[in-house]
Amino acid sequence: MQSNTIPSITLPSAEHNPTQCRAIQYNSSMQSNTEIRKVVQTLEQTAREILILLQGVHQEAGFKDIPAKCVKVREHFSTVRSQLAILKTKFPSEQYYRFHDQWRFVLQRLVFLASFLVYLETEELVTREAVAEILGIEYEREKGFHLDIEDYLSGVLNLASELSRLAVNSVTARDYARPLRIATFINELDFGFRLLNLKNDSLRKRYDGLKYDVKKIEEVVYDLSIRGLSRSQPSTSSADK
């Protein structure tokens, strides 16, 4: 008598099926990309809000209100830390550079904003470690989500153009001592970058921009000198206010 038993069929699991495995990896990657993009958009919005606050220092009345503006900016950076904490959860830490391009530009913008903030507070260059602390991330690659050295350098280079603008607006606000201090700071920054062997094309182009900013600030200082204004005020930094 013939048996009616249906023979069992063993289907290959995903781990033994390369096509299915690739499909799963692709879907997982797409989901991570989507979630990362959403967080990056919130970071970009917060960065815009911080920039608006800092842009206020370029107004004549803004020079008198620098400490208060810095306090408000610090408060906004607490939001940035929360957003970056969420971003860390959207992908495995060992895949940092796989997704790095998605947040690279906003992170460079945040470095610039943090460096401008610290300059307004202390008139000193913020360190990479200090920026990482402001952002609530690591500065060592081995520890996971970190501040890449090239992102730090790019952000700092963006500071130069902002300070050249500040030097010009300082004259308008009759703060004649500030451009001299900015010139000293920018010259030291330029010297530091000249010691580096910049292999990144983008960094080299931005460094070319720094040379232009140095020249622009030197022209401001020279103009003050020939007008006899470079020594008309005692040197008072915002950190002393």
State how far the Cα of 211 lies from the Cα of 186, in Å rounded to an integer.
10
Residue with tokens 């007008």: 227
Give dist(CA 177, CA 203) in Å, integer: 31
If you ran DSSP here, which 8-state letter would residue 146 be given? B
Which of 146, 165, 166, 154 is CA-nearest to residue 193?
154
Is residue 87 within 8 A of residue 43, CB to CB? The reply is yes
Q: Tell me, what DSSP letter sits at residue 6?
A: P
Q: Which pair of structure tokens corresponds to residue 3?
A: 């048996």
Q: Nearest-CA neighbor of 130 among 119, 120, 141, 139?
A: 139
**DSSP category for residue 219:** H
162 annotated ligand-binding residue: yes
- Pairwise CA distance, residues 36 & 95, whole Å: 13
- Phi and psi at residue 148, to the nearest 5°: -60, 140
Alpha-carbon gap, residue 141 to 94, rounded angstroms = 10
In whole angstroms, what is the distance from residue 112 CA to residue 13 CA?
Answer: 49
Which segments are annotated as binding site for Mg(2+)?
A: 162
Which segments are annotated as binding site?
A: 162
